[in-house]
Amino acid sequence: MASILFVGLIVLIVIGMPLAYALGGSAFLAIVSSDLPNILTVQRFFTGVDSFTLMAIPFFMISGSLMSKGGVSNRLIKLCSIFLRKFPGGLAIVTVVACTFFGAISGSAPATAAAIGGIMIPVMLKNRYAPDFAMSTVASAGYLGVIIPPSITMVTYGVAAGASIGDMFMAGIFPGLLLCLGMCAYSFFVGRKNNYIMVREEVQPEDGNILRTVVEAIPALLMPIIILGGIYGGIFTPTEAGCVSVVYGLLVGFFIYKELKLSDLPGIFKSSALSTSMILLIIGCASAFGNIITREMIPNKVATLLIGFSDNKVVFLILVNVLLLIVGCFMETNTAIMIIAPILLPVAQQLGIDIVHFGIIMVINLAIGLLTPPLGMNLYVATGITGKKVSDILGKNLIGYIVISIAILLIITYIPSISTFLPGLIAGR
């Protein structure tokens, strides 16, 4: 049954079947070839998405869109530009920091890249930044949207691995900030080398309005504080936090910034529903696929194989990083987590690797995959803003951001406390 499962998956992908359908279809083929009832495919699909926790995904999708349409991205960019625009490569640094802040609102990498890139790429081009550098900066900083909490990808991992989503959110803060600093350093280096300084100050607030700019950005910055504070204060669950974020997004958009209109809501709900349905379809099909993997005891076999190869934690983590970086080139992050986490997690736990730390390793690896072809979703977002081809972004600047990301990934991999310190501190461990 296992051979039919994987051969079926490969064949369906090769003939162009969407990945979600390929997962569900290969699971169905495996079940049909066995003595299991065919209805099991549907049952596993349903149980895979029948989760209160997964309800957080559509709510965070909606709140991110509300905050974006409501003028949050503009105010975050203006706030960052006050302090950073005069540095060499300052606009790129503003982009990275703004993506970090917006990632704490949207929970989605493509949404972060689109919201900030739509404003910052034209400004960088007007200030004579190389187009490939501007696009590479937006694509790279955009993936911070799945690392800085709240993160939709972390919700998926929590469901797949049985990890605390609150712990995952807290664990993503320091790694996300470390990646932000690394990208800012690279932006500064490239900016100084190429003399990228601000010539036209479209994003500069008037001097007399600096205080006003800071004050206007406060409502946007409060949202992640409210979400994480509420979760760890025991006021609400991560799913309820998603509901709170939607209400807060409506209040900010309608009554504080007053840029959100009633006519915007149908489009926001429609796009959020489409994005959510895509993710849930993947999760449901991956759940049916994963059930066959569990029945065939593939995780146990993989664990025995890997530990037989080496029971050294350092070697195992190297293999995991290499595997996930490759997988990230070809597979969407939520899909990869639903398939790979149940296989690799038992091995990680046998070697004493913290489940939350392992989740952060998985999320960062797969987030880097958003920068690598042929999938590279953020590459398409960044090039779509400029109307250029993906080949135009593939160059030394994108490679530079990827190298920085992998270097920081290795630091996070082998210094677990970067991920586990905050969850342990709050839990009193």
* 122-177 pLDDT per residue, tens: 989 988 899 999 999 999 999 999 999 989 999 999 999 999 999 999 999 999 99
Note the pLDDT of residue 151: 92
The CA angle 101-335-401, to the nearest 5 degrees, is: 45
With beta carbons less than 8 A apart as the criterion, state whether 316 and 347 touch: yes
Domain containing 226: what range? Answer: 2-427
pLDDT of residue 429: 47
Residues 288, 41: Cα–Cα separation, whole Å: 6
Query: Is a pLDDT exceeding 90 seen at residue 412?
Result: yes
Mean pLDDT within 35-57:
84
Specify burial of residue 429 (Cβ count, 10 A radius: 0-12, 13-18, 19+): exposed
Query: What pLDDT sits at residue 332?
Result: 82
pLDDT at 2: 78
In angstroms, how far is CA 22 from the centroid of its own chain? 23
What was the pLDDT predicted at 193?
A: 94
Half-sphere exposure of 256 (CA within 13 A, CB side): 21
- Give pLDDT, residue 68: 81
Express each pLDDT in 311-362 by its tens digit. Answer: 889 999 999 999 999 888 888 888 889 888 988 998 899 899 999 999 999 9
Q: Quick one: pLDDT at residue 117?
A: 92
- Residue burial 242-271, b: 16+ Cβ < 10 Å; e: rest: bbbbbebbbebbbebbeebeeebbeebeee
What is the mean predicted confidence (pLDDT) over 188-201? 82
Q: What is the pLDDT of residues 205-244, one digit of tens each?
A: 555 578 888 888 899 888 888 888 898 888 988 889 999 9
pLDDT band with cut points at 50, 70 and 90 for residue 65: confident
Task: Specify burial of residue 199 (Cβ count, 10 A radius: 0-12, 13-18, 19+).
Answer: exposed
Tell me if 345 sits within 8 A of 302, measured CB to CB. no
Query: What is the pLDDT averaged over residues 278-307?
Result: 80
Angle at CA 283, nearest 5°, toward 58 and 25?
A: 140
The helices-and-strands tally (H runs, E runs) of the chain is 21, 0
* C-alpha dihedral, 180 to 181 to 183 to 185, nearest 10°: 160
Please write the tens of the pLDDT for every residue from 3-31. Answer: 888 888 889 988 888 878 888 899 889 88
Q: What total of structural domains would you count in the chain?
A: 1
In the predicted model, what is the mean pLDDT of the chain? 88
Q: What is the pTM of this model?
A: 0.87
Dist. CA 276–CA 286, nearest whole Å: 15
Residues 170, 189: Cα–Cα separation, whole Å: 30
Asked if residue 367 lies in contact with residue 326, where contact means CB atoms within 8 angstroms, the answer is no
Q: Does the structure show a pLDDT above 60 at 204? A: no
Q: 53-57, 209-213, 264-268: which has the highest mean pLDDT?
A: 264-268
pLDDT in tens, 74-105: 888 888 888 887 889 999 999 999 999 999 88
With cut-offs at 50, 70 and 90, classify the pLDDT of residue 201. Answer: low
Mean pLDDT value across residues 263-273: 92
